[in-house]
Chain A
Amino acid sequence: MLKYLVKRVLWMIPLLIGISLISFFIMHLAPGDITNNEAAFNPKASEESRQKLRELYNLDKPVIVQYGLWLKRMGTLDFGNSFASHQKPVFWQTTDKDGNVTKGMIQEALPITLMINILGLIITLSLAIPLGIIAARKYTLWQDKSITLFNFIGFSIPGFWLSLLLMYWLGVMNNWLPISGLHSINYESLDTWAKIKDSISHLILPVIIPSVTGLAGITLFVKNGMLDVFHQDYITTARAKGLSEHKVVYTHALRNALLPLITIVGLSIPGLIGGSVIAETIFAIPGMGKLFFDSVLMRDFPVIMGILTIGSALTLIGNLLADLAYAWADPRVRRGVVRN
């Protein structure tokens, strides 16, 4: 197992290098010297900070040297300071000489996005697994078809449209849920219980809408996984042994069908992080997506690079965790029978 882990971690190195290459390329997509062109739009990015930026990215050096240095900075997670937001550090907090702590922009935004996405993932999975099982058991029957249709409708609605319709219906017409934001104005003055209630009611729409959209993929995956397992010998054997259908489905088939789901969840991380742009904009949530979009509009390069890199690194970590979980759950991998 340890050997597997080491190997798996080593695998990440070439990927990280690839990611660094692509984000390096993106930065150079802006024509000319970025410090002259785009940054100059921002009055705060004037000569001194431009010079800093030039040094930060070593723009006076040959491209290959620049890249090497960028790689080095990436390794130490040093993404510099934002030039659109009062020189806030991009990634993690810094303390200045007077002892003032300034929080990092990603540090503030990431937990919010992670929380919403993890909650969303839990809801997606808790809906998709039962739906997938039903669809597989009633394969090609009306139950299967309605589930498919329902899921695809969810997937096909433009998310921001659905969000606005629900905000109007639930927030304005009926006043059941808050419309946007993470907390009520009077949040601070509430008691603990009311605080929890307040947070939950604010999270309902932003969590549920993306889950509905993501339901189709995972349900199909569970369904197909179940169907695969149904056709395998050991299930037939189990059936032949006279085990009840219930037992066949829930002990044998399900466990084997769910294993690959771990991988899929790992792979869905970049989509979830990327998809947060629209949801966070419409629901006024200060997460990674909103931060990235704002930075793109402000041409705040240090933040853009930071988010691209951290976002990708998160995916790699997610995939690693998924693989480890898979290895742990699947005895064949654990024993080294199957590799990679």
Chain B
Amino acid sequence: MNKALFKKALSNPLAMVGFIIIVSVFVLAMLAPVISPYDPNDIDVKAILLAPSWQHWMGTDGLGRDVLSRMLHGGRISLLVGLVAVGIATAIGIVLGAISGYYRGWVDTLIMRLVDVMLSIPSFFLILAVIAFLTPSIWNIMIVIGLTSWMGVTRLVRAEFLSLSGREFVLASRTLGAKDARLIFTHLLPNSLTPIIVSAVLGVAGAVLMESGLSFLGLGVQAPQASWGNILTDGKEYIQFAWWLSLFPGLAILITVLGYNLLGEGLRDALDPRSNNK
């Protein structure tokens, strides 16, 4: 995407903070196997529910597992859920939006009605029902969140295509006999990439939160695999006592989601022509 735009977004201190958060969380999650002080599944029944100390920076959980190590590994899972779910949603959104915006006509009408239908069903209900019927697993969760959150991207891509297709360079290539596919992939899509990225960044935030909500209901990533959502859910039972079990995952989700939101909004702001005149 546009480098200048990115630079401009990061000149906004909030977006910069968001960007730093995202990068740090991402790096920590990637490095989890290297920097984790313990194996996240290493149990020690003699060290149950220890408060944070030099040995265990974030304490231990109900099986004596090191919370920091579980947080790092759980972060990988939570981010994976977020990224894949958004990836699926974005892919569907781009395809349907492109078809809709490029070909228009009855295809467009059909797709837009489908978007309307999906938007009017409470999507959390849909997600709950489908995940429960298919039995919860990390893949089902990613796919179902993805399949229920593509509508925004579709509308966005369609709008971009509609506005771009009237522009001169598109008209020019069309008169020069460019094939549909070529036109879509070399001209239209790259030009509408920025808003797609903005919406994807915001989407990751939503998906990470969604996973924690599903975990609370027992339909999230299933134990013993760690995710921030299920570490937090485990810890909520002892929120007043073993505070470290809920505080760290709670803060991790809060900070990460905040980071994605701040960056996403920063990018959206930078995109906004208004911000030039102020």
Question: Do A and B touch each other in the complex, judged by CB within 8 A?
Answer: yes
Known: A18-B117, A22-B118, A312-B122. 16 other contacts (CB 8 A): A26-B129, A140-B275, A140-B278, A152-B258, A152-B262, A153-B254, A157-B250, A161-B250, A172-B240, A270-B123, A271-B122, A274-B122, A274-B125, A308-B129, A315-B119, A315-B122
Which of A18, A140, A161, A312 has the largest count of B CB atoms less than 10 A from its CB?
A161
B254 touches A18 (CB 8 A): no
- Which B187-246 residues have a C-beta within 8 angstroms of A? 205, 209, 212-213, 216-217, 229, 232, 236, 239-240, 246
A-B contacts, 20 of them at CB < 8 A, read A14-B113, A15-B113, A15-B116, A18-B117, A19-B117, A19-B120, A148-B265, A152-B261, A152-B265, A156-B253, A161-B253, A164-B246, A172-B240, A220-B265, A270-B119, A292-B125, A308-B121, A308-B122, A308-B126, A315-B122
How far apart are A117's CB and chain B's nearest CB, in angstroms?
A: 11
Which of B132, B232, B256 touches A161 (beta carbons < 8 Å)?
B232
Contacts of B262 in A (CB 8 A): 148-149, 152
Question: Which chain A residues lie closer than 8 Å to B129 at the CB level?
Answer: 26, 292, 296, 304, 308
Are A19 and B236 closer than 8 Å at their CB atoms? no
Are A156 and B258 in contact, with the CB atoms below 8 A?
yes
**Would B117 and A158 count as touching, CB distance under 8 A?**
no
Shortest CB-to-CB span from B11 to chain A, Å, is: 11
Determine which of A26, A38, A278, A315 lies in contact with B216 in the assembled complex, contact meaning CB atoms within 8 Å: A278
Give the residues in chain B near A139, CB-CB below 8 Å.
278
Once bound together, how far apart are the Cα atoms of A168 and B237, in whole Å?
A: 12
Bound-state Cα–Cα, A15 to B116, Å = 7
Which of the residues B117, B254, B265 comes within 8 Å of A157, measured between beta carbons? Answer: B254
- Count of chain A residues near B, Cβ 8 A: 57
Considering only residues 161-180 of chain A, those with a C-beta below 8 Å from chain B are 161, 164-165, 168, 172
Distance (whole angstroms) from the CB of A224 to the closest CB of chain B:
8
Q: Which residues of A contact B275 (CB under 8 A)?
A: 140
A18 & B213 in contact (Cβ 8 Å cutoff): no
Q: Is the interface of B mostly helix, strand, loop or mixed?
A: helix
Q: Which residues of A contact B213 (CB under 8 A)?
A: 158-160, 277-278
- Please indicate the chain B residues that have their CB under 8 angstroms from the CB of A228 in the complex: 274
Interface of A is mostly: helix
In whole Å, how far is A109's beta carbon from the nearest beta carbon of chain B?
Answer: 13
A311 B133 Cβ-Cβ under 8 A: no
Bound together, the chains give a CA A312 to CA B117 distance in angstroms of: 8
Report B-chain residues with C-beta under 8 Å of the C-beta of A161. Answer: 232, 236, 246, 250, 253
Per-residue CB contact flags for chain B residues 247-273 toward chain A (1 = under 8 Å, else 0) read: 000100111111001100100000010
B236 / chain A contacts, CB cutoff of 8 Å:
160-161, 164
Are B128 and A293 touching (Cβ within 8 A)? yes
A274 touches B124 (CB 8 A): yes
Which chain B positions have C-beta within 8 A of A65?
Answer: none
A280 to chain B, nearest CB (A): 11
